[in-house]
Amino acid sequence: MFDLNVFFDGMSKPLLRNAHANAFGKKGLLNNALIQSETLSFYSDKNRVAGLFAKMELWQRRCLNLIYNSGSRGLAFNELRLSVPVSKNRELQTFLLSMCREYVIYRSFVGGTPIYIGFSDFIGCFEVKPEGEIDTSSPLVSYQNLLDWHICVVLANAKKKQLRVNSNGTLHRRGRQVCAESFISARHASEKACEHEIALIFSFLVQNGWLERENTFLLPSASAIDFIHKNGFRLHQDVISWWIKERFHGDRDLCARLLNYLGDGLSATDAALLFWVMDPSYRIQEKCKILPWEFLPRPLCELWLLGLVDFRMAQGKVTSVVLSQSGKDWLATSIASIPDANLTSLPNFDLVVSTGMAPRVLYSLACLAKVKNDETFLCFTLDKETYVAGLKCGFPESEVENLRNWIKPPENVSSTLAEWNASFYGAKVRTARLLKVESVEVLSELSRFPQFMECTEEYIPGYGFILNPEREARAFEILENYGFFPYVGESTENRAPASLDEWRAEFAIAWPDAKKIDYDLKDDADEASAQATMDSTKYGSVYQKLSTFDLVKVLRYAKTVGTPLAAKIMDTTKRNAKLEEKMFYVHALHLAKSPSMVEIQESGKEERFSLDLSFIREIKVLGKKAAAPQA
């Protein structure tokens, strides 16, 4: 977002003089510095802006409110069309251009598409009072920091080689199913919530280089394990910081401003409107008081998954949104609070562990034990088969010993774990790194050097040492001080970074990168680009295959606006059915019973008939002139 001073500084001198003349009338010859100073003082006056705002209709106020809530992202013309009543669509362009000429907002272009952005001078000047009634009686559904546990689950599944990839680098269907079956708590909000969480977690892991591909498997990278071991306490905070970078392009202040609006709570529709500016891909629901997960903006859903907001829900739909305690702490300190860490080990080989425990412990248990639930307090069971299978994934003996110290099991459990460890570590078949030191004098010194001996497993008198694989790097550093630079060989691992493409497609939300500022403000700019912008959405005038959910949105849009549609239809109940093209108007939708039907009227005909949604293969939106008027 620019401030007005920078905006006027980039304006051509003739246009600046015109802006000055519009503000004060022609006052004779003035030097450029005085013109800019006087123009800035007039247009930056917040009382002038408040006067304009007071005279506006409600839809105009909301339009400006949305533009300013979008921060530096801005909103495209066609996105703003989805935010105003259908009857006001024709007035929208005139209103936006008038606000640009009043220097309340400015217009920029991205590939010919106009983007409207606010000035930093007027942040907070266009507040619209929430209209919805806040529900305080429905049960509160909180996710807290279950996301941290689920990240550990995904890394553990990768460690156990349960995540395969297809030949094109995408996650195999079975691997996605394994993750979905673990994320049970997400389904308390919606089945769709599980899919969003998978996209969120894998996007984070892949972009941070925490997952690598080896042949057909995804495996945790060394950097991921190192972070979990050394900096796991920062995991939740790092996920939030990464998310703000992705969703708000690093603008923490904008995220904090939107969260502050939640205050003690907002209705679902008001909260959705607040965060719609970060995901303006659908028409705003005007009359719905409660919203299913699918009708919430993606960033608002992800805030719930991150534990920064809580939902109140009734009949499987969100009624209101409140800022969680973790969200309040993050606003106050930039660090989100996490639940207390609790761990109880029982004699029956069960463990009760809170998700506030260190990710290092959660990750180890996800690899070595069975988990019975997916709640804030997790119940694990230790059994030999799962435990030894986890050890076979490549757990160092020191890490297993650390886990036993953390869980402090009763004597019967401790002795059994010792037996299981002995059955695996008692007899080892592995490749050892043998260090031979030719100098007898140096060999003797190294054998008496405690820091070096910590890096070895065994001293072989007269020959050398067996190195500890986990501390080889430190051993080589010490050897360099003695003038030795041993060749350690190349890694035998055939690993490559995990593919980004699948998760970029699933997780990404459009963020136009505004470039050239439009100072001329020609009236035809929006109309020329409107159809091109519309074609890039599901409401475009080119044939598209749509999911049932998106298809219903388009049909509802066509019914509301009264615009005709064209569809390629195949009646699968008939033998040798052929693909037909029909142009029609939508009169009603019947979705309560299966099969879902739409009542349509073909262009140029009077009769209406019902069409099964599953028969529609492709669909596009036609202009008013593309079909004959309705009978």
Could you tell me the maximum CA-CA distance found in the chain, to the nearest angstrom? Answer: 104
Measured between alpha carbons, how far is 75 from 198 in angstroms, rounded to an integer? 28
pLDDT band at 132 (very low <50, low <70, confident <90, very high): confident
Q: Which of 91-100, 140-149, 351-360, 500-509 has the lowest mean pLDDT?
A: 500-509
Buried b (16+ CB within 10 A) or exposed e, 451-461: ebbebbeeeee
Buried b (16+ CB within 10 A) or exposed e, 177-189: ebbbebbebbeeb
Which residue's structure tokens are 């719930």?
304
pLDDT band at 492 (very low <50, low <70, confident <90, very high): very low
- Spell out the SS3 assignment of 103-135: CCEEEEEECCEEEEEECHHHCCCCCCCCCCCCC
Confidence check: pLDDT of 60 > 80: yes
Report for 380-389, 485-494, 587-596: range of highest mean pLDDT:
380-389
Measured between alpha carbons, how far is 81 from 76 in angstroms, rounded to an integer? 9
Q: How many CA atoms lie within 13 A of 304 on its CB side?
A: 31
Within 16-77, strands assigned E span 75-76
pLDDT band at 516 (very low <50, low <70, confident <90, very high): confident
Summarised one tens digit per residue, pLDDT across range 19-32 is 888 888 776 556 77
Measured between alpha carbons, how far is 427 from 495 in angstroms, rounded to an integer? 29
The pLDDT of 438-452, averaged and rounded, is: 91
Measured between alpha carbons, how far is 512 from 509 in angstroms, rounded to an integer? 10
Q: Which of 14-23, 54-63, 255-264, 402-411 has the lowest mean pLDDT?
A: 14-23
Helix boundaries (H) for 508-583: 525-535, 548-561
Percent of the chain with pLDDT over 70: 94
| Structural contact between residues 282 and 150, judged by C-beta atoms closer than 8 angstroms | no
| Structural contact between residues 162 and 277, judged by C-beta atoms closer than 8 angstroms | no
Confidence check: pLDDT of 534 > 80: no
pLDDT confidence of residue 470 = 80
Measured between alpha carbons, how far is 429 from 392 in angstroms, rounded to an integer? 12
Helix boundaries (H) for 448-510: 450-453, 472-481, 501-507
Phi and psi torsions of 467, nearest 5°: -85, 150
Measured between alpha carbons, how far is 14 from 512 in angstroms, rounded to an integer? 29
Confidence check: pLDDT of 280 > 80: yes
- The region that residue 320 occupies, defined by phi over 0 for left and psi between -120 and 50 for alpha, beta otherwise, is beta
pLDDT confidence of residue 627 = 46
Three-class SS of residue 439? coil
pLDDT confidence of residue 603 = 83
Q: What is the dihedral of CA 12, 18, 20, 25, to 10 degrees?
A: 160
Confidence check: pLDDT of 149 > 60: yes
pLDDT band at 487 (very low <50, low <70, confident <90, very high): low
- How many C-beta atoms surround the C-beta of residue 324 within 10 A? 24
What are the residues facing 353 on neighbouring strands? 343, 378
- How many C-beta atoms surround the C-beta of residue 618 within 10 A? 15
Decide which of 333 and 576 is more confident: 333
pTM for the whole thing?
0.77
461 Cβ neighbours under 8 A, 6+ residues apart: 447
The pLDDT of 154-170, averaged and rounded, is: 93
What amino acid is encoded at 372 in this protein?
Answer: K
Confidence check: pLDDT of 274 > 50: yes
Decide which of 536 and 547 is more confident: 547
Q: What is the mean pLDDT of the chain?
A: 88
pLDDT confidence of residue 546 = 87
pLDDT confidence of residue 488 = 65
